[in-house]
Amino acid sequence: MSEPVKRHYASTLRADQARATRRAIVDAAARLFVERGYGATTVDAIADEAGVSRKTVFTSVGGKVEALKLAVDFAIGGDDEPIRLADRPPVERLKREPDARKVLRGYASMQRSIAERVAPLVKVAESAAGTDPALRALAGAGSAQRRAGMGELANDLAARGALPDELTVTEAADVLWLFNDPLTYYRLVIEQGWSPQRYEEWTGEALIALLVRADYTVRG
| Domain range 83-215, CATH class | mainly alpha
User: pTM for this structure?
Assistant: 0.89
Q: Going residue by residue through the chain, which has 220 residues, state the pLDDT in tens, using 9 for 90 and above.
A: 456 656 665 678 888 899 999 999 999 999 999 999 999 999 999 999 999 999 999 999 999 999 999 999 999 999 988 888 888 888 899 989 999 999 999 999 999 999 999 999 999 999 998 888 999 999 999 999 999 999 999 999 999 999 999 999 999 999 999 999 999 999 999 999 999 999 999 999 999 999 999 999 998 6
Nearest-angstrom CA–CA distance, 144 and 155: 17
Q: What pLDDT is stored for residue 16 in this prediction?
A: 87
Q: Domain boundaries in the chain?
A: 1-81, 83-215
CATH level 2 (architecture), domain 1-81:
Orthogonal Bundle (1.10)
DSSP state letters, 126-186: HHHHTT-HHHHHHHHHHHHHHHHHHHHHHHHHHHTT-S-TT--HHHHHHHHHHHH-HHHHI
Domains 1-81 and 83-215 share a fold: yes
Q: What pLDDT is stored for residue 56 in this prediction?
A: 97
Q: What pLDDT is stored for residue 100 in this prediction?
A: 97
C-beta of residue 128 within 8 angstroms of C-beta of residue 38: yes
Q: What pLDDT is stored for residue 71 in this prediction?
A: 97
Q: What pLDDT is stored for residue 111 in this prediction?
A: 96
Q: What pLDDT is stored for residue 9 in this prediction?
A: 59
Q: What pLDDT is stored for residue 5 in this prediction?
A: 59
In one-letter notation, the amino acid at residue 179 is F
- 132 φ, ψ (degrees, to nearest 5): -135, 105
Q: What pLDDT is stored for residue 169 in this prediction?
A: 98
Burial class (CB in 10 A: 0-12, 13-18, 19+), 117: middle
